[in-house]
């Protein structure tokens, strides 16, 4: 069972264009995220899923530099981009990640993937986003190729084409066998995704203070550090977080 993680990435982010290649501790932010993902034990391959836009040529170049596969597809129809990338990589298990999560945790990724693999006969989808207990920015979804192709067949609305798993999570959840991964404590109030300059400033402060990526720090290490520094928690606490379930705004990677 080939398990492939696809990181959807584009340079034309609405709120912070070019963020995925902005400097983070001496490397592009996406390169730092790839470094953390390379610590995963459950993945067989990492793939960057970007667009055919000329503006994303630098993303392709980063993939070449990092020696990982890069797939190019539609900017607006991200679901079709995933289907094409998954088929090209011969993925049987698809792991969905976004390129604005430089604090992604390998153990959490492995936990979600392991939950799907160990229940493969009775489960189509596993995620830690159905019931949020982890900080935003540690989102992981794993699903079968069949589930992805069913989403592709069923998704008709622009939102469901853009947000890949919206059919499973909101539009037609009754058609899929789902499992939720939750933590033993609730840290969902923390925001570690990078959508704005303030988000990036926060992540830069964490990287510098904890000397990432020179030292491997777990999710709990980072939570402990951030909670002991209220000024860090306050930095981006007022930023609105987009949620496809509430249809608050149009955003895609």
Total domains in the fold of the chain = 1
Integer CA distances (angstroms), 107 to 96, 114, 195, 216, in order? 15, 10, 24, 12
pLDDT confidence bin for 8, thresholds 50/70/90: very high
pTM of the predicted protein model: 0.94
Residue 176 falls inside a structural domain: yes
Q: 3-class DSSP state for residue 123? A: coil
Mean pLDDT of 215-220: 92
Mean pLDDT of 30-57: 98
- The confidence score (pLDDT) of residue 238 equals 84
- Residue 247 confidence (pLDDT) above 60: no
Quick check: 251 pLDDT over 80?
A: no
Rounded to an integer, the average pLDDT of 198-202 is 97
Q: Is residue 196 part of a domain?
A: no
The answer to whether residue 232 sits within a structural domain is: no
Mean pLDDT, rounded, for 52-79: 98
- Check residue 180 and give its pLDDT: 98
d(CA 59, CA 52): 11
Q: If you search the block for the tokens 């630098």, which residue do you land on?
A: 58
- My answer on whether omega of the bond before 213 falls inside 30° of 0, hence cis, is yes
* pLDDT in the model for residue 132: 97
Q: With respect to residue 32, please indicate whether it lies within any of the assigned structural domains.
A: yes
CATH code where residue 11 lies:
3.90.550.10
**Domain that residue 88 falls in:** 3-188
- β pairing state of 178-180 and 125-127: parallel
Please report which helix (H) or strand (E) contains residue 83, including its range.
helix 78-88
């Amino acid at each position: 069972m080939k398990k492939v993680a696809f990181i959807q990435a584009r340079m034309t982010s609405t709120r912070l264009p070019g963020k995925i290649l902005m400097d983070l501790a001496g490397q592009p932010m996406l390169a730092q995220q790839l470094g953390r993902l390379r610590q995963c034990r459950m993945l067989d391959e990492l793939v960057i899923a970007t667009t055919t836009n000329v503006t994303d040529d630098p993303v392709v170049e980063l993939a070449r530099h990092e020696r990982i596969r890069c797939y190019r597809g539609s900017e607006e129809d991200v679901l079709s981009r995933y289907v094409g990338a998954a088929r090209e990589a011969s993925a049987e298990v698809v792991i969905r990640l976004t390129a604005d999560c430089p604090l992604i945790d390998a153990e959490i990724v492995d936990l979600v993937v392991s939950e799907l693999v160990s229940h493969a006969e009775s489960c189509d989808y596993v995620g830690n986003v159905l019931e949020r207990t982890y900080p935003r920015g540690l989102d992981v979804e794993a699903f079968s190729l069949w589930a992805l192709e069913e989403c592709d067949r069923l998704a008709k609305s622009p939102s469901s084409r853009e947000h890949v798993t919206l059919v499973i999570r909101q539009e037609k959840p009754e058609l899929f066998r789902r499992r939720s991964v939750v933590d033993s404590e609730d840290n969902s109030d923390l925001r570690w995704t990078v959508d704005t300059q303030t988000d990036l400033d926060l992540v830069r402060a964490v990287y510098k203070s904890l000397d990432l990526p020179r030292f491997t720090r777990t999710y709990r290490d980072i939570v402990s550090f951030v909670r002991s520094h209220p000024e860090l928690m306050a930095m981006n606490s007022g930023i609105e977080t987009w949620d496809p379930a509430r249809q608050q705004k149009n955003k895609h990677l």
